[in-house]
Amino acid sequence: MKWSRSRTAAIFAVGTASALLLTACSSGTKSGTSTSGPAKAVTLTVAYWGDFGLKTLKPKYEAANPGVTLKLSEGEYNAQHENLQQKLIAGSGAPDVAAVDEGFVVQFSHEAGSFINLLDHGFGQYETKYLPWKWNQMLSADKKVNIGAGTDVGGLAMCYRKDLLDAAGIPSDRESVGTAIGASWDDFITMGKAYVAKTGKKFIDNATNVFNPILGQQAVGFFAAQPDGTDKLAMDGGPKVAFEETEKIIDAGLSAGVASYSPEWDAAFTNGDFAMLACPAWMMGHIRDTAPTTAGKWDIADIPGPGGNWGGSFWTIPAQGKNIDAAYKLVEWLIQPAQQIEIFNTVGNLPSQKALYDDPGIKDKKDPFFNNAPIGVIFAKTANDIKTTQYLGAKNGPVRVAVENVINDIQAGNVKTGADAWAKAVAGAEAAAK
């Protein structure tokens, strides 16, 4: 999932969350602030991709913790994970704090010894605050090791250009759009065909950005966990269903085929080259920053099918670091209610702590950019509806990229839909899974 997490300028007041959550921290930091600096100056390197809200939070943390300097190391999604893996293998050079995405949780959980067990620092006190499925993503089978502090979740919805649907004579209010596309992806295709027929424009940005949500709704993804702890590639299950549904979308002519986070993709948000896209909570910030002149023209509706989650990350602390206590203190501060709600309001990342969903800072949040859509309610509902998570194998990331490459080849006209395309996707997945 090669996404970015862009931020906006507005910062909203935090409501009652601090009374709800995290009133005491085992390290004695409470909200992560201190009245005196550490014994010596400490520089903490924090590695991540996109925008986790750190650029806004960095000066606040440094001001509250004299002697601590945060060195932000922002990079590309895949490159950051690959770099972390390389540093773990080398035994040196890892950042003090590293973000890890859900697509890599199994890979790094298999290397738990290379990270600090957060439970040894008292992190277990937060278990009841989290969505159960989020907490369990980084928890070992014996429940004795947790290497990742959950940051956000990617509750799914569909962001759409209300003005473009109006121009096409298609009902554009939130309820009508949700009804039209909410029952199934086949209904989504029907609506998309009508839009294309009336406008001559494409309905969605890229078929890969539909494939992933469809796959996420399946009971089994790319891998099935085995009793002995190994992964088994499971392409004939959920991946085949998602791939075939995605082929229908391509064959219907709905996809603009623009690569995510390319200049063409960014320009398309403003130009109206597509009308709708799958929209995890973190996508809102990118739309705001990429297409500021379209404020008020967007809205948000339910996603087809049974909802789902796309993305969501964790803060980890590599064991080779020299500033473990300071790193844990930072991580603990970043997951406090004040910071989590500020990140939601500035970046759009939905917290993974379920009690925060009742805080006015989230529950009452409406976004003028998205036609005053009640974004806190929409995305919190999606996150709460998830009862369990799809198992993600250790090679989930590389396999996903291999299959997406085939989908992009189809959109480019290099491969035809059908048996040959599926065979190529399976071959690519098998190679990536080795």
Asked if residue 356 has pLDDT above 90, the reply is yes
Report which secondary-structure segment, H or E, holds 53: none
Asked if residue 19 has pLDDT above 50, the reply is no
Residues 6+ apart with CB under 8 A from 61: 32, 68, 70, 330, 333
- 44-20-350-397 Cα dihedral, nearest 10 degrees: 60
CATH pick for 156-308+389-433 out of 3.40.190.10, 3.10.20.30, 3.40.50.150, 3.40.50.300: 3.40.190.10
How confident is the model at residue 154, as a pLDDT?
Answer: 86
- Local confidence band at 65 (pLDDT 50, 70, 90 cut-offs): very high
Q: What mean pLDDT, rounded, does the chain reach?
A: 88
Distance of CA 270 to the CA centre of its chain: 23
Q: Give the whole-number percent of the chain exceeding pLDDT 90.
A: 70
Q: What are phi and psi of 82, to 5 degrees?
A: -65, -40
Orientation of helix 396-411 relative to helix 208-216, angle to 10°? 140
How confident is the model at residue 39, as a pLDDT?
Answer: 53
Asked if residue 168 has pLDDT above 80, the reply is yes
- Local confidence band at 222 (pLDDT 50, 70, 90 cut-offs): very high
- Local confidence band at 417 (pLDDT 50, 70, 90 cut-offs): very high
How confident is the model at residue 29, as a pLDDT?
Answer: 41
What's the CATH number for 17-153+311-382?
3.40.190.10
Asked if residue 149 has pLDDT above 60, the reply is yes
- Comparing 56 with 309, the larger pLDDT belongs to 56
- Comparing 217 with 28, the larger pLDDT belongs to 217
For the segment 245-277, what is each residue's pLDDT rounded down to a tens digit? 999 999 999 999 999 888 999 999 999 999 999
Distance CA 279, CA 77 (A): 18
Asked if residue 36 has pLDDT above 50, the reply is no
- Domain ranges within the chain, ordered by starting residue: 17-153+311-382, 156-308+389-433
